[in-house]
Structure 1
Amino acid sequence: MMEKVVLILIVIINGVFAFKFVKDILNNKNEMKQEPGSNIFLSISSAIIFFLSTFGISDFAISTILYRKKNLVSDKKLPGTLNTQCVIPVAVMALAYISVIKVDPITLIVCIVAQIIGAYIGPRFVVKLEPKVIRKFISIGLLVATAFILAGKFNLVPSGGTATGLSGIKLAVAAICLFVYGALNNIGIGSYSLTMATIYALGMNPAVAFPIMMGACTFSVPIGSMEFIKYGEYGRKITAFTSTFGVIGVLVAVYLVKSLNVSMLQWVIAAILLYSGLSMLMNEIKAGKVQPQ
């Protein structure tokens, strides 16, 4: 019963986001047409990004590298874009994973509510940040994502246990962590790797990480994203393409691919994230040194 309620709420809250998003596009369609990015490129990249995201490979990290490389969105609007672009694809992921993988409903709800609160508070501060501050946060986020990938590859992160739920101190720790991750989403630091590491460390079944992280994101990200839409601080064209072709990538991953060995791909992604995070951080440090005193 509780599972059905959660699934219905996912549809409702993401339906509200979709309504506000479409309304904003209709009110700013001329501005959206002037945004960079070819239709073919955005269609293909959206499908690939969220195909990989379905397996837990951060769409925030990949999108950050791709969009900055192609100059598709300004650094100021990048955090908002990373959030709004994943709302609909992640909703599809959550509906699929929550239906398939069993998790204690109390644990799921507590984690979802905690991340919603963090996501709601976050955008009020993010939109006031200077672009250089956002770039520093993003570069650190890329390095953090790299660290978690490498920690998993070298077995430095606990492999998890068999529990499907939490209680007491462990549940409180999870709630605090998910609250922080909800806020971090709003500055372009994805919560997938962080949530997965937290679930492992608390002794839960690693598979449970998927409904929790997808479920938490599909409630918290729309909340924060509607704030970004309100302030107009996001890429409308990118979000429109990911909301359609990104969903196709998710459906292919969920329903057509039963298992995928992403071990080698994780090494490649880790190398790319490490290079991008370090280069972005070094560029900011160099820029700070040459500024007039």
Structure 2
Amino acid sequence: MVNIVRGLFVAFVAVFGIIFGKDYSKAAKEGNIEEQSFAKAGFTGFFTDFFDTLGIGSFAPTVAISKMLKLNISDKHMPGTLNVAHTIPVVVEALIFTTVIKVEPLTLTTLIAAAVIGSYIGAGIISNMDERKIQLVMGLALAATAVLMFLSHPKIDLMPGGGTATGLAGGKLIAGIVGNFILGALMTAGIGLYAPCMAMVYFLGMSPDVAFPIMMGSCAMLMPVASAKFIKEGAYARKASLAIAVCGVVGVLIAAYLVKSLPMDILKVLVILVIAYTSYTMLKSATKKQNIENK
């Protein structure tokens, strides 16, 4: 069953690649490619997907770095860009981690399926939201992500749960399916699935290691589906997405096969601070727009 899932990863990303390639080629011929730095976006992709492979997540750090480097990705196009840009690197991660970490097949497939369905529903809603609402949703979600990462940090360790199980059954399986459905929908708003999925898996009594194939597999299946919708709506930054995707794959491979040890506790603290700051800036922008509209 797991081999079938891996086959679906490849099939989904192949279809996504065709859709992305056609849209990029058409936009290039029409002169609709954005004026963005390929080098800066490439660095962003390498850095974020490198640490994504280690479990930190790529969405929130990408938002933060793109703001710092002034990549000129509009907040309205940010959710679509995050999904399109990180689709291929995440599929590579999923192929690696579903091979090296064992998960009970029924748990893996049902949680992944739930996330895919959630993403399909969510993408249609998010792609048509105005910029202020997106800023508000992303700002609140980033704040929640920062809190979850803080509570699950090894030095804090206030997250309930934990265990050694590699699968779920009964009520816990249903809870996991519902939870991943919601997380899949939120992914389309630019809200990373990793931190909340890791927290959910841990809370349901599973081994923390099992979170990797579940969260990466979920993203590998849902992101091509959600991204196809964003591409159809033209709700993403094409040039930045291409650069992040290409360099992100390199970051994934280096992190997965060459890196043996990093001061992850310190890095997670830095990521939490960056995410919290980005949340603040998003909410500040949304509030400012609201005040202007009310005048």
TM more than 0.5: yes
Q: C-alpha deviations, 1:9-55, integer Å up to 9, x for none?
A: 11111111011111111111156774132222222221111001111
Cross-structure match for 1:207: 209
Distance 1:246 1:45 in 2: 8
Mapping of 1:1-293 within 5 angstroms? 2-30=1-29, 34-69=33-68, 70-153=70-153, 154-158=156-160, 160-293=162-295
141-150 or 193-202, which moves further after superposition? 141-150
Letter in 1 for 2:76: K
Distance 2:45 2:14 in 1: 20
State the secondary structure of the residue aligned to 1:144. Answer: helix
Contact 2:38 2:240 in 1 (8 A): no
212-221 or 234-243, which moves further after superposition? 234-243
169-178 or 71-80, which moves further after superposition? 71-80
127-136 or 235-244, which moves further after superposition? 235-244
Contact 2:113 2:218 in 1 (8 A): yes
Letter in 1 for 2:254: V
State the secondary structure of the residue aligned to 1:5. Answer: helix
Q: C-alpha deviations, 1:189-238, integer Å up to 9, x for none?
A: 11110100000000001000000000011001110110111111111111
Distance 1:158 1:100 in 2: 26
Q: Cα distance, 1:244 vs. partner?
A: 1.2
Distance 1:87 1:103 in 2: 22
Contact 2:161 2:204 in 1 (8 A): no
Contact 1:32 1:236 in 2 (8 A): no
Letter in 1 for 2:168: L
Q: Cα distance, 1:159 vs. partner?
A: 5.5
Q: Cα distance, 1:82 vs. partner?
A: 0.7
Letter in 2 for 1:15: A
Letter in 2 for 1:230: K
Distance 1:148 1:76 in 2: 25
Distance 1:217 1:291 in 2: 36
Letter in 2 for 1:26: S
Distance 2:99 2:228 in 1: 26
Contact 1:186 1:224 in 2 (8 A): yes
Contact 1:32 1:237 in 2 (8 A): no
Letter in 2 for 1:144: A
Q: Cα distance, 1:290 vs. partner?
A: 4.2
Cα RMSD after superposing both structures: 1.5
Contact 1:79 1:234 in 2 (8 A): yes
- For normalisation by structure 2, the TM-score amounts to 0.95
Distance 1:31 1:264 in 2: 46
Distance 2:285 2:179 in 1: 30
Distance 1:99 1:12 in 2: 17
What percent identity do the matched residue pairs reach?
A: 38
Any stretches of 5+ residues in structure 1 without a counterpart?
Answer: none
Q: Cα distance, 1:71 vs. partner?
A: 4.2
Distance 1:274 1:60 in 2: 13
Contact 1:89 1:247 in 2 (8 A): yes
Contact 2:184 2:193 in 1 (8 A): yes
State the secondary structure of the residue aligned to 1:27. Answer: helix
Contact 2:41 2:71 in 1 (8 A): no
Aligned length: 292
Q: Cα distance, 1:287 vs. partner?
A: 3.6
Distance 2:73 2:146 in 1: 23
State the secondary structure of the residue aligned to 1:77. Answer: helix
Distance 1:32 1:45 in 2: 24
